[in-house]
Amino acid sequence: METTQKHLTHLKHKASLGPWRLRISLADHKLLTIGLMMLLIMFSVAVFAPQIVQLDPYEINPMDRLTGPSAQYWFGTDEFGRDVFSRSVYGARYSFFIGMVVAALSVIPALIIGLLSAYFPLLDLILMRVMDGLYAFPAILLAIAIVAIRGSSVENLMIALVIVYIPAVSRVIRSAALSVKGKSYIKALDSQGASAFRIIGVHMLPNILPTVFIQFSYVFAQSIMTESALSFLGAGIPAPMPSLGNILFDGKAVIYNSWWMTVFPGLFIVMLVIGLNFVGDGLSNAFNQRHVGRVKRVKAKKGVV
């Protein structure tokens, strides 16, 4: 009788983060792995920008304007003769920075708001109505409005984005927290004497961490794209600072002749955003798979309720 043997790829790496129990084996999650690799590449580019870049991103060389990729100018030059490679690398650096800061400054308050709303019904009423109000603003329009009022700068851009993302993220966290709150083990904690804040901080929080991480990666991706869009519209990072978006903006006029101003920064944006999305989706899949085996077994032995 024939038997077929399955040959699985050898387990590459098992990530384990102590008390938070986020053990996932990277070999089983290709999406996550690819995403993380893409992010790692972009992260290195962003962090090691000063080391990688030889030419000054601000230096104008009118003689060399709009030349294609060459040994000297790896990604070619823009309309002022500035090296597109060094501008792209620094653009990536700023994008990365903005993405991280906006994600952090959005997710942390959203986490607090989401948890408190889920646990205290009265607070929920008030907080969610406020969030609803803010939620109504589309990110780009709000950003343009703030930039118009306060002037164009990186800080104002980040303020606008944070205002827009906190409501959206707090909604998602609130729903995750609500579903955890309904679980039996949370209900059982009252009889074990736990105070409200202990239940929220010590018991509920670890169970919504997957959601938090995923939201972080999505906000990160969204803010990069929004920043690029805004810079493309001329309302983002002010010239002459390079940003992936404003290189695209400048490149739009000369797109037919000077493809390198569009393609290379575009590629960076794609790497960043796809990497982040893969990580977000990959994490989502990974965390959903974990408890399946256990749940199935318990269900099979259920007695009379």
Partner 1 sequence: MTILEVDDLVVSYPVRKRLFGADELLHAVDQVSFVVEKGQTFGLVGESGSGKTSIGKAILGLEKFQAGRIVVNGETLTAQNQIRSQDYRRNVQMIFQNSYSSFNPKKNILAILTEPLKNLTHLSLKEQRHQALELLDIMKLPEQALEKYPDEFSGGQLQRIGVARAVIVKPKLVIADEPVSALDLSVQAEVLNYMQAIQEAFKMSYLFISHDLSVVQHMCQQMAIMHQGRFVELGDREAIYQKPQHLYTQQLIAAIPGELSLEETVQRQQIFSKYQAERGKMYDPLGRVHNLKAFQPNHWVSQA
Partner 2 sequence: MSKSLLEVDHLSISFWGKDRWLKAVKDISFTVNQGEIVAIVGESGSGKSVTAEALLGLHQPATSLIDGRIRFNGELVYDSKASHLASLRGKAIGMIFQDALNSLNPVFKIDKQFIETLRQHQKISKKAAKALAVEALQLCGISDPVRILNSYPHELSGGLQQRVMIALAISCQPKLLIGDEPTTALDVTIQYQILTLLKDIQAKLNTGILLITHDFGVVAEIATRVIVMYAGEIVESGPTADILNSPRHPYTQSLLKSRVPKDIQATNGKLTTIQGSVPSLQAMPEDGCRFAPRIPWLPATAHETSPQLHQVGGEHWVRCRCWEHFKFAEELSL
Q: Phi/psi at 304 (nearest 5 deg)?
A: -70, 135
**Burial class of residue 134, CB neighbours in 10 A (0-12, 13-18, 19+):** middle
Q: How far is the CB of 74 from partner 1 (least distance, A)?
A: 47
Span interacting with partner 1, options 80-88, 101-109, 154-162, 182-190, rule CB under 8 A = 182-190
Question: Pick from partner 2, partner 1, none: which does 1 bind, CB < 5 to 8 A by kind?
Answer: partner 2
Closest CA to 290 of 190, 187, 209, 236: 209
Alpha helices by DSSP H, the chain: 30-47, 49-52, 84-119, 121-135, 139-150, 154-181, 184-189, 196-198, 205-233, 244-253, 260-289, 292-300
Q: How many residues does the chain have?
A: 305
Q: How far is the CB of 300 from partner 1 (least distance, A)?
A: 10
DSSP 152: S
Span interacting with partner 2, options 145-153, 194-202, 221-229, 294-302, rule CB under 8 A = 294-302
292 is a contact residue toward partner 2 (CB under 8 A): no
Measure the CA–CA gap between 282 and 132, rounded to whole angstroms: 29
Measure the CA–CA gap between 228 and 236, rounded to whole angstroms: 7
- With CB under 8 A, what is the number of residues at the site for partner 1? 28
Question: Pick from partner 1, partner 2, none: which does 6 bind, CB < 5 to 8 A by kind?
Answer: partner 2
Question: Pick from partner 1, partner 2, none: which does 2 bind, CB < 5 to 8 A by kind?
Answer: partner 2
Place of tokens 């098992």: 14
6 is a contact residue toward partner 2 (CB under 8 A): yes
- Subset of residues 16 to 55 that bind partner 1, contact rule: CB under 8 A: 19-21
- Subset of residues 232 to 251 that bind partner 2, contact rule: CB under 8 A: none
Span interacting with partner 2, options 4-12, 73-81, 175-183, 268-276, rule CB under 8 A = 4-12
- Subset of residues 11 to 50 that bind partner 2, contact rule: CB under 8 A: 11
149 is a contact residue toward partner 2 (CB under 8 A): no
Question: Pick from partner 1, partner 2, none: which does 3 bind, CB < 5 to 8 A by kind?
Answer: partner 2
x/- map, 185-224, partner 1, by CB under 8 A:
xxxxxxxxxxx--x----x--xx-----------------
Closest CA to 271 of 34, 38, 37, 31: 38
Instruction: Judge contact between 224 and 100, C-beta under 8 A.
Output: no
List of residues contacting partner 2 (CB under 8 A): 1-4, 6, 8, 11, 297, 299-305
